Structures are given as structure tokens and as C-alpha cells.
Amino acid sequence: MKKLTITLSVVAAFGLSAVASDALIEKAKQAGLKPIPENKTELYKLIDNPKNPVTDEKIELGKKLYFDPRLSKSGLISCNTCHNLATGGVDGVDVATGHKWRGNPHHLNSPTVYNAVFMEKQFWDGRSPDLEDQAQGPIQATPEMAATKEHVEKVVNSMPAYVKAFKQAYNDPKFKPSFKDVADVIAVFERTLVTPSRFDEFLNGCDKALTKKEKEGLKIFIDKGCASCHNGVGLGGSMQPFPAVGKYKYANVGDFKGDKNGMVKTPTLRNILETRPYFHNGAVWDIEEAIKIMGETQLGVKISDKEADKIKAFFGALTGKKPYVRYPELPASTDKTPKPDLN
């Protein structure tokens, strides 16, 4: 009888736990939180751009160009310089630093490239509608790669291996890659940089995917209103007013004010513990401070130390599995390849 009582107690406790988890999953979904699809076909529907279809050939070519510093004026800076795939898709400094070691004039921080495909807009001011358009910006920006369209086209067309790869990727023996084509294939590669996490497993019904503390943090995250902006598959990506209801204590760092309506792109929370520092101006290095600031600035609520600690624990469940990316072997420069210009 004693053994039976213990068994029934365990079953009851397990049942209650499962019910509680099911309720939390439903609560998360009602708050607008969505998992990265497990099914490859469903995921493809999310990451593909009908105007620039994802193919294996474009992915491989885009990867090479993503890592190729010769696209920059100096020959030293690649996309991976500021969006380092080995360090959470960011550069780990407060202000994006590029050509001639100059920081962004508005003191803007480099956002992560991982899961950028799930963002509704690109850049902090949301000026680009997609990754294809976004990829053109940093290459030409003076404080970043500082190149011209002509420079990029000369670099790519000077190397027979790149020209051949473009012809194969676009199935056209007469294809001559343009600047836009270079940006397009880089964007295709970036579209594959998604990082499914334990949180996705939890939303898909795996109760054990999250710890008790992480579940508590998720509940606080939802109850405080954080999910009103950090939602969807990307847990961010929409344009929101910033600051919304309170003053941002580090507003004096840089002069960025958002778009013409004062709207700022909501950053993804996926892999957030790997992408310090935080905020558009990289002014905050401690995640718990960032959590408290967001409560005061965006929601008008106070988040206690204990609550911030639990939300941080939940953020740990958002650290995802990165796609395997082997550093590519790039084609050799030729006599026609533009020489590096450090000026």
C-alpha cells in the first residue's frame, strides 16, 4: 500500500507539472512567441525570398563572399569582421568599427547576423526591407567597408573561379556578376544562419527542454509585457518607439534617434547572452541591467533583481545551435584584382 501511494504521488506530481508546462506553452503562443520550424520545408518557406531563391550553389558562393575581405576598399574587412559567426554573429565591441579603424559616427552597435532573416526590417532604423537590400549597405558605407559598386564588381570579375561560380549559381553561361548579384548571394547565405534552441523544443511540447527556473523566467517575461515587442519566430524584429514610456539612461551615447518617427528595430533575443554589449549604442554590458532598463524605459514597470535573474535564466534557453560553417578557401587574386587601398 505504501509503495502504491508513493507511485500515485509521483504520477500526480508529474501530471501537474505537465499540465503547468502545457499552460505555459499555450501562454507563450498566445503572447505571440513562435518556434523555429522543425520541418525543413516549413523553415524554407520562412527563410526563402521568391525574388532571390535559396539554392545550394548560392549558399556556397555567398559564404565565400561573406568571408572575403577583398570586397572592402582596404582589403582587410569582410562581412564577418563585424558579424563574426564565431562570436554570436557580432564583433563584441560597443561601436561598429570599420575602414581606417573608425567607429560608426552615430555610435551604433553591430546587430547579430544570426536569425536576421526573421526580422521584419534591417538596420536599427529599419531602412532596409530585407537582407538583399541590407547587404548592399555596409559594403559601400564609408565607416565600414568603404567600397564602391565598381570596386566590388572588379574584384569578383577579376577571379575566374568567382565568375564560374556565378554562372553555375544562375545557370547562365554568359552571366557577368554585378554588385547587386554579390549582395544577393551573400543574403542567401545569411538566410541560412538560423539557430534552433531548447526554447523551440519547449514550444513544440518538450517539457524537459527548459529548467524550472527558465520556465519561471519565461512566465515573468510574458507577464511583464516583454513579449509585446520581443515576439514572433525571431523574438524581435519589428519597429517600436524607443524610448517608449521612460528615459533611456544612456541616451547621450551617440546621437541615434531612430527613424523619422523615432522608431527603432527591436533586436532579436535569440543568443542574447552571446551578443554583448546591448542596445543600439552598445552602452550596456550586463544583461540584468539591460533587462531592468527595458522594464523602466519600454514598459513602465520595475523588474526586481530576482525577476531579472530568472529572465536571464530564460534567455539561456534561447542560445541556439549554430549551423556548421567551414571557413572557405577563397580564389586567388589576379593581376586584374584591385589592390588594397588603406586611405
Q: What is the pLDDT of residues 142-159, one digit of tens each?
A: 999 999 999 999 999 999
Alpha helices (H) along the chain: 2-30, 40-47, 56-67, 79-82, 131-140, 149-157, 160-169, 179-191, 198-203, 212-223, 287-294, 305-316
* pLDDT tens, the chain, 343 aa long: 444 444 444 444 444 467 788 999 999 999 999 999 999 999 999 999 999 999 999 999 999 999 999 999 999 999 999 999 999 999 999 999 999 999 999 999 999 999 999 999 999 999 999 999 999 999 999 999 999 999 999 999 999 999 999 999 999 999 999 999 999 999 999 999 999 999 999 999 999 999 999 999 999 999 999 999 999 999 999 999 999 999 999 999 999 999 999 999 999 999 999 999 999 999 999 999 999 999 999 999 999 999 999 999 999 999 999 999 999 999 999 999 999 999 9
- Rounded alpha-carbon distances, angstroms, from residue 32 to 39, 74, 310: 20, 44, 20
Active site residue ranges: 144
- Three-state SS at 232: strand
The answer to whether 33 touches 162, Cβ cutoff 8 Å, is no
DSSP 53-75: ---HHHHHHHHHHHH-GGGSSSS
What are the chain's domains?
A: 29-39+196-316 (1.10.760.10), 43-191 (1.10.760.10)
Distance between start and end Cα atoms, the chain: 85
Q: How many residues does the chain have?
A: 343
The answer to whether 313 touches 211, Cβ cutoff 8 Å, is yes
- As a whole number of angstroms, the distance between CA 278 and CA 102 comes to 20
- As a whole number of angstroms, the distance between CA 145 and CA 70 comes to 10
pTM given for the model = 0.94
The answer to whether 144 touches 98, Cβ cutoff 8 Å, is yes
- As a whole number of angstroms, the distance between CA 236 and CA 223 comes to 17
- As a whole number of angstroms, the distance between CA 250 and CA 259 comes to 18
- Rounded alpha-carbon distances, angstroms, from residue 213 to 11, 145, 186, 196: 22, 43, 39, 20
Phi–psi pair at 122, nearest 5 degrees = -120, 155
